[in-house]
Amino acid sequence: MSNESQKQIKFTDFQKEIRSGKIRPLYFLYGKEAYLHKEALRLLKAVILEQGTEMFNYNEISASSQSMSDILAAADQYPMFGGRRLVVARDFEKLTDAELDSLKEYLKNPQATTTLVFQAEEIDKRRNVSTALLKTCTVVDLSPFRDKDAVDWVVEYLREAGYQISTRDAALLIGFTGTDLFLVRNELEKLITSVTDPERPKKKGLISTLDIQSITSRSRHYSGYDLADAVVAGEHKKSIRLLIELLDDNTEPLMLLGVISRTLRQILMAKELMQQQIPSSDIAKDIGIPPFKSSDFLAGARKWDKEKILKTLKRASEVDDAIKNSLGKPRLQLEYLLCELFL
C-alpha cells in the first residue's frame, strides 16, 4: 500500500477526486454530518457502478447483524458484468480478535476490482480496528462544516447548478440557516425555484441579498433536528430552550409539534423492535434514522418509559386540535407539552 493512499482528506477534496475518476480501493468515511455521508455514497455509486449493475455489484453490510467475514467475502467477489464492486461496511467497531486479524489481512492486499468503504460517526483511536483503518484507508473527514466551509460549499453548489451568488450573500444565507447541510440545501432549492421564475425581471441565475432575505427563514442557531435529538436524549432544559429559540425565530408551531410527535413515535417503534431483538441497523432503517445517529438514538430510546410516550402522544393529538382551532396560545401549548413529557 503506497503512502499516497494513506491520508486524510476533506469532503471537497474527496469530491474532486471522485469526479476526476480517481477511485481508491479503501475509504474510511467518518463524521457527524449525515448529508455528507449520503452525498459521498451517491458520488461513489455514480462513478463506480455501471448502469443497471447496482443490484449485483453493491452491498451495504452491518457488522452488528453479519460478521466481518461476510463483509470481506462480499469485497472479495468479482464484479458482475465488468466494472467495479462497491461494498459499504458499518457498525464494525466491536470485532473479535479473529475478525480483526482477517480484516488486517484484507487491508494489506485489497481486491483490485472492489472499493470497500467503512462508515462511522466517530473515530475511537483507542480501538485496534480504528488504528488499522487509519493506517491503510483514505480517511475522509465528514464532520459538520464550519461557517467558512459552508459558505464555500454554497457557492460551489449553486455554481454547479448554473447559478451565481456572492461570497457575502452566501455568508448571509449561512447566517440564517446555520451549517446543517440538509437545511441549507432545502433553502438553496427554494432560492433556485425563486430565481428561475419566468416572470422574474432580474438577471437570470443571480441570487441576491433580497432573494435570501425574502425566501430564507431565520433559523441560525438551531433546527428541528436539534430539538428531536434533545428529546431523545431526555434533556429537559435543552429541549425547552431549543423550542423557545425556534419559536422566537418564527418557526411554525405545527411543524415543531410534528417534530416532537414524530420523534416520540420513532422512540416507541424503536423500543418495540428492540424487544424483538431486531438488529440495530435494521431498526434505524425501519424508523427512518440515519445510520450515523442510530447508536445515540437507540441508547436514548432505551431510557424512555413506553407508557409515558403513549400518554404524551395522546396529549400531542389534543395540542394539535387546540392549535388548529385557536384554543389557546400555540407557544404555551407546546411548552406545556414538553414539560408534561419530562415530568
pTM: predicted TM-score of the whole model, two decimal places = 0.62
- Mean of the pLDDT values across residues 60-71? 87
Q: What tens digit of pLDDT does each residue of 155-200 get?
A: 999 998 889 999 888 888 887 777 878 878 888 888 888 787 655 5
- Check pLDDT > 70 for residue 2: no
For 38-78, the DSSP string reads HHHHHHHHHHHSPTT-HHHHEEEEETTTS-HHHHHHHHHSP
Alpha helices in the chain, H assignment, sequence order: 11-19, 34-48, 54-57, 68-76, 97-108, 128-136, 147-160, 167-177, 181-195, 209-215, 224-232, 236-248, 253-275, 280-287, 294-303, 306-324, 330-342
Are the beta carbons of 233 and 300 closer than 8 angstroms?
yes
For residue 94 the three cell numbers come to: 466491536
Are the beta carbons of 313 and 269 closer than 8 angstroms?
no
- The pLDDT assigned to 262 comes to 85
Q: What tens digit of pLDDT does each residue of 205-264 get?
A: 788 888 887 776 544 445 667 888 899 999 999 999 889 888 887 777 887 888 898 899
Q: What tens digit of pLDDT does each residue of 12-45 get?
A: 899 999 999 899 999 999 998 888 998 999 999 9
Same fold flag, 147-215 and 224-342: no
Residues 6+ apart with CB under 8 A from 276: none
Residues 6+ apart with CB under 8 A from 100: 68, 128, 129, 132
- Check pLDDT > 80 for residue 307: yes
Sign of CA dihedral 194, 181, 294, 11: positive
Q: What tens digit of pLDDT does each residue of 243-252 get?
A: 988 888 777 7
Indicate the fold that domain 224-342 takes in CATH.
Zinc Finger, Delta Prime; domain 3 (1.20.272)
Instruction: Compute how many other C-beta atoms are within 10 angstroms of the C-beta atom of residue 202.
Output: 12
Cα 233 from chain centre: 18
Select the highest-mean-pLDDT range: 119-123, 201-205, 248-252, 288-292.
119-123
- The pLDDT assigned to 219 comes to 45
Indicate the fold that domain 3-141 takes in CATH.
Rossmann fold (3.40.50)
- The pLDDT assigned to 204 comes to 60
Q: Where are the domains of the chain?
A: 3-141, 147-215, 224-342
Tell me the C-alpha to C-alpha distance, in Å, between residue 107 and each of 112, 137, 176.
11, 8, 44
Q: What is the CATH number of domain 147-215?
A: 1.10.8
